[in-house]
Chains A and B, each alone.
Chain A
Amino acid sequence: DAGITQSPRYKITETGRQVTLMCHQTWSHSYMFWYRQDLGHGLRLIYYSAAADITDKGEVPDGYVVSRSKTENFPLTLESATRSQTSVYFCASSERDSEAFFGQGTRLTVV
């Protein structure tokens, strides 16, 4: 099925552990994004990618690492998870200057 999928949907991890959130899109969109959304707030951009092997920081990149070796995948890694990184993470994709399509989100809890 065409679309954008995130995995896992829910994740509980311990402080200090490394965790990777996966994002896969089937449209071959050039742009992909990672956002976090804290309870009751809007989205904040963590990282984005304009094409394979091109990534750039967003508003809140500290503590996160991304890669984009293939156009369709854009994994987000928390190198050493902290409680402040407890949030809902959304991945999105788009063509340049076009509407963004969002995944269902990953609810991450760091204990």
Chain B
Amino acid sequence: LAKTTQPISMDSYEGQEVNITCSHNNIATNDYITWYQQFPSQGPRFIIQGYKTKVTNEVASLFIPADRKSSTLSLPRVSLSDTAVYYCLVGDSNYQLIWGAGTKLIIKP
């Protein structure tokens, strides 16, 4: 099972673009990369998922290089409400995902 490494915490300011990088050196061929967001006292919420290259949806982009050993979640023009913990997960099924401590993102005014 692939484990991930991501920064423990990050700070940024409203209106900035935030990039959170995750490393997953032992990612398997069939593994997807998935990001979740969690607010205090709430369950995690799905943000985005990708396999290779770039994926974009209405809230974020996910950049995956060719070797797939890392990935970067990009949040455009963050606001205070983006303050949360962000989890990077790697696996080919939900029951194989290993949840680390995530990245605590703090957005300042």
Contact = CB atoms under 8 A, between A and B. Distances in A.
Which interface residue of B44, B98, B100, B102 has the most chain A CB atoms within 10 A? B44
Contacts of A99: 34, 46, 49
B43 A105 contact: yes
Range class of the A interface residue count: 20 to 34
A92 B92 contact: no
A43 interface: yes
Contacts of A102: 42-45
A61 B101 CA distance: 20
Interface string B66-105: 0000000000000000000001000011110111111000
B99 A44 contact: yes
A49 to B, nearest CB: 9
Nearest to A91: B43
Nearest to A42: B99
A103 B41 CA distance: 11
B44 A94 contact: no
Contact of A42 (B43, B49, B87, B94): B87
Nearest to B95: A48
Contact of A105 (B34, B42, B93, B95): B42
B102 A33 contact: no
Contacts of A59: 98
Contacts of B34: 99
Given A100-B46, A102-B44, A40 B101 contact: yes
Contacts of A94: 94
B8 to A, nearest CB: 10
A77 to B, nearest CB: 20
A53 interface: no
Interface of B: 32, 34, 41-46, 49, 87, 92-95, 97-102
Interface of A: 31, 33, 35, 40-45, 48, 56, 58-59, 90, 92, 94, 96-97, 99-105
Given A31-B95, A42-B102, 15 more contacts: A33-B95, A35-B99, A42-B101, A43-B44, A43-B99, A45-B95, A90-B44, A92-B43, A97-B92, A100-B44, A100-B46, A102-B44, A103-B43, A104-B42, A105-B42
